[in-house]
Structures are given as C-alpha cells and as structure tokens.
Structure 1
Amino acid sequence: MTIAESVIRNGSASVEDLVALTGVSAMTVYRDLAALEDSGVLTRHRGQVVAVASGLHEADAEFRLEQSSAEKQLVAAEAGKLVSPGSSIMLDDSTSGVWLLRSLPDISSVTVVTNSLLVADEVAPYRGAKLLVSGGEYQAWAHSLMGAAAVRTIRSMHADFCFVSASGIFELGCYHPYQEVVEVKRAMLESAETRVLLLDHTKFNRRALFKFAELQEFDHVVVDDQASPGMLAHLRDTGVQVTVAGTGQVDKD
C-alpha cells in the first residue's frame, strides 16, 4: 500500500506510521510527502498527514472542520435560524453540521439524528438533548458510521429537517467522492420534511465521482457571502430558495 493510499483509507497517519508501513527511512517518507503535498494529494496538519479533498477522495473530518471555518460558521448560523425548539434534525458527516449545532441557542431543545460521531460528541454534553445515532461500519476518515445499517436506521425515521453539504457543486448537481456517503445523504433527504443544503463558495464548480442530488431537490440552499454574483444568479435559476448568509438576502422564484 502506498503512502497516499494508506492516508486516504485511514483518514490520517503519523510519519512514524508511514515509516513502519513502507519500511523506508523517515527522510525518504518526508521527501515523498513533500511531493504529495506539492501535487495537492496530502497535507500535514497538527503533526498528522491527512488527505486533501478532491474529486476522488475526501479529507479527514478533523481537518475539514477547520477548512473555511469562518464561511461555514456564517452559513451554519444562517441555517440554524430555521430550527425552532422541539425540532427534529438530521445531520450527516458534513462538518457544517457541527457548526450548525454550535450556532443553536439551545441544543437541549432539539432531537438530533446523525451518523457522525463528531456531531454526537457535540450533542452529548447536553442532558436534555435527544440524540439518535445510526448503526453502521465506522469510517475513521469521516469519524462517522456508514453502510447498510446506517442507511436502514435513517430510513426508519422521519425528521423535520435534514442539513447536508456537498464536496462539489457542478451545474445543477451535488457531488461527493464516496458512494457510502452518498447513500446516507440520500436516505436523509428521503426522510426529512425540509431539505437544506449548506455550502461555502469553495464548493462551486467542483465535481466528484457520485451525484447525490439536484439543487432543485432542496427547499433551502444557504451559501456564504463570498459566492460570486454569477453563481448566485445560477442558483436562483434553479427555482429553490437561496439565502446568502450574513446579508439577509433571500431569493425565491
């Protein structure tokens, strides 16, 4: 297994792990890592080597949580306004879901359904909160549960809202590089009364292997205020409600 394959499969690795895996010297591993960083495949973060998101793979969850964090917080705070006390919400493995929870004035008043252990960890300290975590196979890179058991659990429920994100938006399609993630997203979209897509401007004009939805399937699309006017015009043309976070600008055809 190559360095890149190991990091992508496991979510992250230390240099010591990679030396043990490859059987070469630390100097050789550092040289190879430099080449992989230059090519945009991997990056080093807090002493760990993590995958950089692309059309073929997604980055480690802890790394994604800090990527574009200001924009994600802005979008999450805007989307959180939809949630009222007593609401039930579904959150997938998108790190935007963590920021959404942090934006709520009272997590203990909502019911949260999720396959993400990052989300579960965020809810757990609140005694009054109702937390439902799907079964499934643990995926380290996402810190989430995936597979048939996760999909089956989610499809057995019905929530007021689901909040999901996408690795890329291309034309009118929403994309993600992993099929098991797409299956969970689809299950949540099918199990929620109101579907909300959370996006920051870095996701536009990117495409991954699997399409999981069309923009028209969402009741709300919330974007950050750095999205280009041309892209916003394109979103308005889809016929869904678009909210530009931080501006109060809501468009509805």
Structure 2
Amino acid sequence: MAVAETVFARGNVSVEELAALTGVSTMTIYRDLAALEDSGMVQRHRGRVVALASSLHEADADFRLQQNTSAKKSIASAAAALVPHGSSLMMDDSTSGIWLLRAVADLGSMTVVTNSLLVANEIASARSAKLVVTGGEYQPWAHAMMGQYVTEQIASMHADFCFLSASGIAGLSCYHPYQAFAEVKRAMMRSAHTSVLLLDHTKMSRRALFKFADLTDFDHVVVDSGLDPDLVARLREAEVSLVVADPPG
C-alpha cells in the first residue's frame, strides 16, 4: 500500500507529509496507519509516523537511538574499555555506536571512519576525534551513506577496530534487512584488526533477511545483562567471545 511504502522509504514522516506524498485523504491515511500499527509495522512517535524494525525493514535511526537506552549505555561502557588510547575505529550506522562514542574517555585521541551522519555529527558536535566520512548514496531513514562507493572506500583502509550491530540473530548468525547494509558491515570487518559486535538482548528475538557474519567471527560480542543466562552459557559453549556488561547502575 502507498502509505506503508512511503513510511518505510522515508523512515519517519508526518501525517500531513503522507497526504501530500501519496495523494490520499488524511482519513484514509489514519485508517491505514491503524492497520499498520496493529500489525506492528509502524508507530506514532512525537507527532510522526515511524517505521518499526521487522525481518524486511529497519526502523528510523533517530527512533532507534532512543530505544533500549539503558542496555545500550551499559554495552557502550563495557565496549569502551576495549579501546586503547589513540585507536582508529570504523563505525557503521548502528545507533549503539553513538553511545560508545559518549562512553570513550579519550575520544580526542581517536580516528573514526564512518558512513553514518549521526556518528559524524556526534563527533563534530563534541569537536573531538579525527573524522573520516565515506561517500555514497544517502539513505535518509538511516542517516547514512550506502552503496558500492562506501564499500570500496572501506576496502582501501585499515582500522584497529570496527564496531557494528545486528538487526537480528538466528542461531549463531547475524542478519540485517537490507543487503547494502550487510555489505558495509562485512567490508568493515574485513578492514579492521579487531571486530566488535554491540548487541542488546532484544535483537535475539528478531529476524532479518541478509546474513553478514557469524557471532564467532567477532573478536568480542558485547551484550547487556538482560540476555538470558542460559543463552549466555550456550553462546560461550559455542565459543562466542562474549562480554556481558554490568547491569545499569
């Protein structure tokens, strides 16, 4: 349906913008939105309609940044302890990376390579760290650059670390709804000496379409304390290098 396609293409949009873009009445839009909300595909948030994550779609980056913040902060604190002074970091559009930047004590000594404008703006606003932003095709809902130009640039570099997240986990494999985003994650893993997955426990119950790695491919998988203890034990038995963050203080 036109309303759903427009919301997922843009990530978040107002009802008035939907009416202008689709050419249908606001009454029809509200009826369609009610059905989409009932199916868990969208949510109304701060006066805007936001696409929610699913096996085929990822949620808007601004919306994701405000979700599960307590878990993401604890993960960021544990992950920041892995990063020595003066490191170079590759970071994709994962919003967990924003919390990591806020947790790193000496960010000014770092060099950050990213395809994410949220990451870039976070560094620019703090006037810290050397920043390298890739080119590529801009995806508004992700606030990030994507495409072959991104992966080619990443392939031409080498960093000490890459920090990524996953939209969903199935078995021991990591997935994302969009192939282009999965390719960026794979490229960063190939171009980094140490790869780190930032994974809040809600991702364990989600599914997505494109596999980009196995959990065992990462040097560290940092999770929050909300992950089921039995699952923690099973992952460690499978030789996943798991770091469980301390509970939020």
Moved over 4 A (4+): none
Please name the residue that 2:146 is paired with.
146
What letter matches 1:159 in structure 2? A
C-alpha distance in 2, partners of 1:14/1:166? 28
- Unaligned runs of at least 5 residues, structure 1: 248-253
Q: How does 1:1-253 map onto structure 2 within 5 Å?
A: 2-246=2-246
Q: Is this contact kept in 1: 2:150–2:184, CA < 8 A?
A: yes
C-alpha distance in 2, partners of 1:4/1:208? 18
C-alpha distance in 2, partners of 1:195/1:3? 38
C-alpha distance in 1, partners of 2:23/2:149? 37
Residue range with higher mean Cα deviation, 205-214 or 188-197: 205-214
Alpha-carbon offset, residue 33 of structure 1: 0.8
Q: SS at the partner of 2:125?
A: coil
C-alpha distance in 2, partners of 1:9/1:24? 17
Q: SS at the partner of 2:58?
A: coil
C-alpha distance in 2, partners of 1:109/1:22? 48
Q: Is this contact kept in 2: 1:168–1:206, CA < 8 A?
A: yes
C-alpha distance in 1, partners of 2:120/2:216? 29
Q: SS at the partner of 1:175?
A: strand
Deviation sequence 1:58-92 (CA, Å, 0-9, x none): 00000010111111111111101111210001110
Q: TM-score, normalised by structure 1?
A: 0.94
C-alpha distance in 2, partners of 1:8/1:134? 24
Q: TM-score, normalised by structure 2?
A: 0.96
Residue range with higher mean Cα deviation, 137-146 or 117-126: 117-126
Distance 1:126 1:21, change over 3 A: closer
What letter matches 1:102 in structure 2? R
Q: Is this contact kept in 2: 1:221–1:241, CA < 8 A?
A: yes
Q: Is this contact kept in 1: 2:55–2:209, CA < 8 A?
A: yes
- Unaligned runs of at least 5 residues, structure 2: none
What letter matches 1:234 in structure 2? R
C-alpha distance in 2, partners of 1:135/1:14? 29
C-alpha distance in 2, partners of 1:225/1:127? 32
Q: SS at the partner of 2:207?
A: coil
Deviation sequence 1:115-151 (CA, Å, 0-9, x none): 0000000011344520001110000110000001111
C-alpha distance in 2, partners of 1:240/1:231? 11
Alpha-carbon offset, residue 111 of structure 1: 0.5
Alpha-carbon offset, residue 104 of structure 1: 1.1
Q: Is this contact kept in 2: 1:107–1:126, CA < 8 A?
A: no
What letter matches 2:56 in structure 1? L
Alpha-carbon offset, residue 23 of structure 1: 2.7
Q: Is this contact kept in 2: 1:88–1:111, CA < 8 A?
A: yes
Q: Is this contact kept in 1: 2:216–2:241, CA < 8 A?
A: no
Q: Is this contact kept in 2: 1:108–1:126, CA < 8 A?
A: no
C-alpha distance in 2, partners of 1:197/1:235? 14
Q: Is this contact kept in 1: 2:195–2:219, CA < 8 A?
A: yes
C-alpha distance in 1, partners of 2:18/2:5? 11
C-alpha distance in 1, partners of 2:137/2:55? 23
